Amino acid sequence: MMGRPPCCDKVGIKKGPWTPEEDIILVSYIQQHGPGNWRLVPINTGLMRCSKSCRLRWTNYLRPGIKRGNFTYTEEAIIVHLQSLLGNRWAAIASYLPQRTDNDIKNYWNTHLKKKLRRFQASVDCYMNSTSSGSSSTTSHELLSGGYQNPRHHQIPSAYASSTENISRLLQGWVMKSKITQEDEVQSIITSDSYKASSSSFAPPVLSNEELESLIPLGNGSSSSSNNNNINNDNNNNNNNGGCIGAWEKSQCTVDNQNPPLFMLEKWLLDESGVPADAAPLF
DNA sequence: AATGCTTTCAACCGCAGGCTA
DNA sequence: TTAGCCTGCGGTTGAAAGCAT
């Protein structure tokens, strides 16, 4: 006999948003059996979902340890840097941010970061035009493609928030009868043989803060503290020149028309993130 | 208040590579 | 060796919410 039986019958498969009841069923099942063997999940649970949908729901939303919303400046910088190195390989990028899913990073890139980078490009162009001999600047990456329309900063729709709350509520019940903490439970799951066997691809490198910081390129090769000063010093400039790179930067940096200094981008991200000037960034 | 446009993000689709019978 | 399933990935879609008029 060749091949395997089909994973699920396409007829009668439910699509669309998951209900809290479905989430409970899925979480309960995975509590008992561990993630993986997705073909069996709809069969054994009675969920009218295909195995793919179950895996996606678990991987992107129900899996413990996922951090939702509010990307930090550090995370943004890491994503931008890795995207420039790896391209749109979201799974690879997500492996450096274990609390984030590839889908979340992809969405965040498409809805926020591309716009920020586009505005950054506009600022660099403005600066280049004001100083140079005319050659138009570009970054070395394809980061700046995509539309820019009427940005709204860091909004979290109420539906998104309520959905997160629902999931949190679901997982609040995820406690063993004993006094094992949820962290212990998560740990016990991810170290279980069934989990390891079934989710070998979910083994992201867990990086220390130092390692995470090392992923972020430093502008001008200068020290953290000096860069930090640079960023903070320039916060005011940028607000008074119609979006152009400020005079301070003009005097401080040597601009390569092909590759605007990374610290410009870092500073831009910092400004766009609304991080207070006294909040110490990593560089 | 009503309407239409824009933005966001959860979920789906289709493909590729690996695996299995 | 081969046919076909399983899993993971990246691109895309569409419903819902926000915003502007």
Two tokens, residue A254 = 């040597």
Q: What is the pLDDT of residues A179-224, one digit of tens each?
A: 333 334 434 433 444 333 333 333 334 455 565 555 555 443 333 3
Q: Does nucleic acid strand C have an atom less than 7 angstroms from the CB of A42?
A: no
Which pTM does this prediction carry? 0.61
Residue A13 CB lies within 7 Å of the nucleic strand C: no
Whole-number distance in Å between A42 CA and C9 C1': 22
**What interhelical angle do A224-233 and A262-273 show, nearest 10?**
60
Over residues A150-164, the pLDDT tens digits come to 333 333 333 333 344
Q: What angle do CA A7, A10, A16 make, to 5 degrees?
A: 105
Is A263 within 7 A of strand C by CB distance? no
Strand C positions closer than 7 A to protein CB:
2-12, 16-20
* Closest residue, by C-alpha, to the C1' of B11: A16
Dihedral pair phi/psi, residue A259, rounded to 5°: -140, 90
